[in-house]
Structure 1
Amino acid sequence: MSYFGLDKDFNIVTHLAPYNVQWNRRYYETGDFEIYIDIGQYSSNIKYIYSTEDKELGIVEIPHYSVSNNTKQMLLKGSFFEKILADDCIYPTFSSSGKIVDVVKKLLDKYCSWKMGYRYDESITDRVDFQETGANLDEKLYELLYPLELSFRIEYDYVSSTFTFVLYRGRDLTQNNADGNNFVTFSTEFGNIEEPDVMIDSSKYKNYAIICGEGQSEERIYVEYDARIDKNERIKKLFVDARSERMGDDVTLDKYKKVLIQKGIEKLADCQIQENVNFGLNTDSYEYKVDFDLGDKVDVIVADIGLVMTARIRNIFEVIKSGYRTLELEVDNLKIM
């Protein structure tokens, strides 16, 4: 695996030979990295980290030089290039309805200051009714896509020096998938995971949203959204203050209520039962980035506690030391949509 330091114009400054790499890839938020190099490799002109084998381009945000026990150390720390969207915010108000692939494209065309292409998976057919004022572009995109189990990445092509925004959903690799994909199962019984850490947290769980938009007192416009799959389940209500969402002269009441429902769905996504499993990977039967990758949906079994779940790979933490790579995966199960 080769790493290069690039300058502000994306020209190569130097080839890097890091002795410790932590490459933290995340599906529902911007990933981050830490790279430790010998001081002789460092240049203040290094603004980006480019790897020939990774989809991510790193932005160097924190160069950190230290000396301990007469040993000089240089740490380059930062976020992946999706963070560039944090430089833009959604203002003035944006409102759009339709296919999510079209809404995201309109959002980028109107507010994104970085020049890049656009690509999406043809299988994505989800629809949204969306309105927003004032949010940072990166955070709002993740918030909008999360309930749909979608994500995005910004791919960099060094040869052509171009960027492409890619909207995608990870593959379904569960045993019952309808796409014909080879299935992937991580299981303590199979011995391909080690040191699992399981947390099931229902402390913030809500399944029903009351979303209030513009207006005062009894004249305030509101809608209710029932997210329960089992209608016999006890209702746990969440109040969502969406007063900032404005109807406008060109927006019908029906369309405005759909916008409010979308806002409720986004807030409910943060109030679901969290079923998280972290584990180290101990297998040669599955090849990383071929058989499974970030965002893919897989089967997970932890026999000791009787846990059997289908879950999406939310985070992948790569550690590379002396040319040897270890992987830790975090999966979770979102059940709102």
Structure 2
Amino acid sequence: MELYIYNRSLDLIGLIDVFDSLRWRRRYFQPGEFELHLKYTAENVKLLEEDNIIARRDANEAGIVEGISIDKDELAVKGRFLSSLTERRIVIKETILNTTAELAMRTLVRNMNKIPFLELGELKNYTETVDLQVTYKNVCTTLTKIAKVSNIGYRVRFNRKNKELLFECYKGVSRSASQNVNPRAIFSEEFENVTDSKYSLENENYKTVAIVGGEGEGTARVIVTVGDTTGLERRELFVDAKDIQKGDLTDNGYKALLIQRGIEALAQAVKNETFESNVNLQSSLVYKKDFNLGDIVTCTNRAWNKAIDVRITEIEEVYEKGIITLTPTFGSPLPELKDILKGE
């Protein structure tokens, strides 16, 4: 594999084709990340400076160097994909987004303080809608919230030919066993297309009803309820949304913003049911052709009596000593501590 290295001006400054290992973690709802280990040389250190870009011919994503460490004769660099650049900006002014999720994300990117070379890519005209009010929130964190509510992924694609960084939304394809439109992708050790499967279910933080409190005090406080589940399945969550200001909005318009806040909270408090497996790259299912990041597929394990239709939310590619390991995460994994802290 060849890694192409670009500087901050998006000029190609070198190529790396010899390294010890590369971990390339793609993520659907938020920026992916990478970690590269290679021999320490003066040339490698010069190539892999802070904020330089690592690109691959076979990947839409590219990484930006955020961390560098040297230990004797080993050089290690790590970073995240280019969509993480939006984490360097906040929503400066009050922004009300009553539109499609795609247009909401594009509006946030268009209105933030300019990032060099970053432009809006192709509009896909997805129809999922959102209704929210945002002020002084991190742009990347807000994009991720919208993505999770709408099930639409986002990325920044590096157009090397035109020296452009293109922000774009994208959607996975439904390839589950329960649909008949697209070729199906069914992952099972029985079919010998995965190995070392792991199944987990976590519902400790799972909520089904959000009670959202807006402006006012006591009995005068504006309260809306999102969700109508009853009985044992009713799991309530209180959401303090006093930060959402009514201003000149109508009562219905204000309540719509509170409802959206409740929807966002419930999207964070989901039941975490996941399969994690190593994909057999010699099987009939071909990566990026028969399945890809964001696709909905079916995972089964007859011995465990488990079968679920889930979205591929992450794919970790590892290249080490000439061996490629592909590990998708099927379903919504538990959030990492660093991601929880960013959302606070």
Q: Distance in 2 between matches of 1:264 and 1:130?
A: 10
Deviates more, 1:163-172 or 1:41-50: 41-50
Per-residue CA deviation, residues 155-214 of structure 1 (Å, 9 max, x unaligned), is 011111112111122110112325x21110001221211111111011111111100111
Q: Distance in 2 between matches of 1:159 and 1:279?
A: 36
Determine if the alignment matches structure 1 residue 161 to structure 2 residue 163. yes
Determine if the alignment matches structure 1 residue 65 to structure 2 residue 84. no
Candidates 243, 254, 257, aligned match of 2:255: 257
Candidates 155, 173, 176, aligned match of 1:174: 176
* Contact in 1 for aligned 2:21/2:321 (Cα 8 Å): yes
1:219-238 map, 5 Å:
219-226=220-227, 228=229, 234-238=233-237
1:106-255 map, 5 Å:
106-114=107-115, 115-122=118-125, 124-177=126-179, 180-226=181-227, 228=229, 234-249=233-248, 251-255=249-253
| 2:83 equivalent in structure 1 | 82
| 2:340 equivalent in structure 1 | none
Aligned residues: 325
Q: Distance in 1 between matches of 2:303 and 2:133?
A: 45
Tell me, which stretches of 5 or more residues in structure 2 are unaligned?
A: 334-344
TM-score (norm 1): 0.92
Offset at residue 106 of structure 1 (A): 2.1
Offset at residue 104 of structure 1 (A): 2.1
Secondary structure of 2:121's counterpart equals strand
Offset at residue 121 of structure 1 (A): 3.1
Determine if the alignment matches structure 1 residue 280 to structure 2 residue 285. no
Secondary structure of 1:206's counterpart equals coil
Secondary structure of 1:305's counterpart equals coil
Offset at residue 151 of structure 1 (A): 1.2
Q: Distance in 2 between matches of 1:163 and 1:48?
A: 11
Per-residue CA deviation, residues 316-335 of structure 1 (Å, 9 max, x unaligned), is 1111123331101111169x
Q: Distance in 1 between matches of 2:120 and 2:272?
A: 35
Offset at residue 112 of structure 1 (A): 4.9
Offset at residue 310 of structure 1 (A): 0.2
Determine if the alignment matches structure 1 residue 15 to structure 2 residue 20. no
Per-residue CA deviation, residues 93-120 of structure 1 (Å, 9 max, x unaligned), is 1112122222222222212522312324
* Contact in 2 for aligned 1:89/1:135 (Cα 8 Å): yes
| 1:56 equivalent in structure 2 | 61
Q: Distance in 1 between matches of 2:29 and 2:36?
A: 23
Letter matched to residue 244 of structure 1: D
Q: Distance in 1 between matches of 2:306 and 2:23?
A: 29
Q: Distance in 2 between matches of 1:258 and 1:96?
A: 11
| 2:342 equivalent in structure 1 | none
* Contact in 2 for aligned 1:99/1:126 (Cα 8 Å): yes
Determine if the alignment matches structure 1 residue 3 to structure 2 residue 3. yes
Q: Distance in 2 between matches of 1:44 and 1:120?
A: 37
| 1:266 equivalent in structure 2 | 264
Identical counterparts, % of pairs: 25
* Contact in 1 for aligned 2:216/2:222 (Cα 8 Å): yes
* Contact in 1 for aligned 2:193/2:285 (Cα 8 Å): no
Letter matched to residue 211 of structure 2: I
Q: Distance in 2 between matches of 1:96 and 1:147?
A: 14
Q: Distance in 2 between matches of 1:4 and 1:109?
A: 28
* Contact in 1 for aligned 2:86/2:109 (Cα 8 Å): no
Determine if the alignment matches structure 1 residue 102 to structure 2 residue 124. no
TM-score (norm 2): 0.90
Closer, same or farther in 2 for the Cα pair 1:7/1:66, shift >3 Å? same
* Contact in 2 for aligned 1:16/1:37 (Cα 8 Å): no
Letter matched to residue 254 of structure 1: N
Q: Distance in 2 between matches of 1:8 and 1:163?
A: 12
Q: CA RMSD in A?
A: 1.7
Offset at residue 63 of structure 1 (A): 1.4
Secondary structure of 1:189's counterpart equals helix
Per-residue CA deviation, residues 255-293 of structure 1 (Å, 9 max, x unaligned), is 111111111111111212110111111242111111111
* Contact in 1 for aligned 2:212/2:224 (Cα 8 Å): yes
Closer, same or farther in 2 for the Cα pair 1:295/1:120, shift >3 Å? farther
Offset at residue 49 of structure 1 (A): 0.8
